[in-house]
Amino acid sequence: MQHQSPIQRRKSRQIHVGKVAIGGDAPISVQSMTNTETRDVAATVAQIQRLEAVGADIVRVSVPSMEAAEAFKAIRAQVEVPLVADIHFDHRIALQVMTDGVDGLRINPGNIGAIDKARLVVEMAKDKGIPIRIGVNAGSLEKDLQEKYGEPTPEALVESALRHVAILDELNFHDVKISVKASDVFLAVDAYRLLAQKVDYPLHLGITEAGGLRSGTVKSAIGLGLLLNEGIGDTIRVSLAADPVEEIRVGFDILKSLHLRQKGINLIACPSCSRQEFDVIKTINALEGRLEDILEPMDVSVIGCVVNGIGEAKEADIGLTGGDKRSILYYRGKQVDRIENQDIVDVLEKRIRAEVAERRAARNEA
């Protein structure tokens, strides 16, 4: 059963990164970044395709050199998902990837030299309809701002961002989104809150360098969750020292938990106790592995006993309540079968895939 989110989102302009709308009333998009050597075309393409398979809306690729820019051209030709090129300092790289079909740039105009260089980039971006993300990080704050504020502060991050915005405003370029990231949750959250009061550009949320899979997930869920709950944020990237595929999964899990976006199976499961009639943890681990390719939104409840199981099962699209040797299967709130406990994983997978196929067929008929 899908729920309406009570969150009132901040009003922002809308831009497009390729086919993906960001800001305005567009769904909050989820993106990641490759961690392969960009010049290794085959490895980078393979990773992007894996990200596409789990639902990535946008993928960012680091392009640190002209050699990497040449590789980017070959990469662009082999994948469908919108690609953003991450560029620092060298405006020539930006010009090259725009020629080769990039969908967006992450480049700070104040860091690429004289205004004439920024103007060349902006003119081509404007001509090709390519948006620019201004990306400010606490770890690379300008020296004069570090001296002014003594350390990275929300005010320092926002002042840095507004400097770059001013350059683009001067060049009459407004196809922009902004990020003000920090590894400290409070610093990042306060910076985004302050920025949201000063501009109406769409905001790219992230807690940068958040850490490994577990700790980074926790920090990102808290930081992004605080902002998203206040209606702030139009696209998100969960930064993890882990397989980038996990960034997409965690990103969608954060949005699902706030009812901001539904994609894939939402597994509702008890932590298990001595009342469980089957091994809940083993069952959930098996289902997660088998169902990771499904992007259709669906609530599936798997509860080990009848204490909470019946109520959860009736609210889910498909539900299972543990019973002695045989568990009760629910479909759209109604009891439909009893199944042997040793068959739970196989039966649930079959039922879920059948529901996905039925929904697709209904959409095709419509």
Contact 209, 165 (CB under 8 A): no
- CA pair distance 137, 155, nearest whole angstrom: 13
Q: In sequence order, what DSSP letters do the residues of 174-224 get, joined into one string?
A: --EEEEEE-SSHHHHHHHHHHHHHH--S-BEE--TT--SHHHHHHHHHHHH
- CA pair distance 259, 229, nearest whole angstrom: 10
| 233-238-242 Cα angle (round to 5) | 175
DSSP 8-state secondary structure symbol assigned to residue 240: -
Q: Residue 274 class from Cβ within 10 Å (0-12 exposed, 13-18 middle, 19+ buried)?
A: exposed
- CA pair distance 332, 157, nearest whole angstrom: 49
Nearest-CA neighbor of 55 among 202, 245, 203, 300?
245
Residue 209 annotated as binding? Answer: no
Q: Which two tokens stand for residue 130?
A: 């390519």
- CA pair distance 115, 88, nearest whole angstrom: 15
Contact 91, 117 (CB under 8 A): yes
Residue 70 annotated as binding? Answer: no
Residue 273 annotated as binding? Answer: yes
Contact 132, 168 (CB under 8 A): yes
Q: Which residues of 139-148 are buried (b: 16+ CB within 10 A; e: fewer)?
A: eebbeebeee
Residue 270 annotated as binding? Answer: yes
Residues 6+ positions from 144 with CB-CB distance below 8 Å: none
Q: Cβ atoms within 10 A of the Cβ of 349, count? A: 15
- CA pair distance 220, 237, nearest whole angstrom: 9
Query: Binding site for [4Fe-4S] cluster: which residues?
Result: 270, 273, 305, 312
Query: Binding site: which residues?
Result: 270, 273, 305, 312
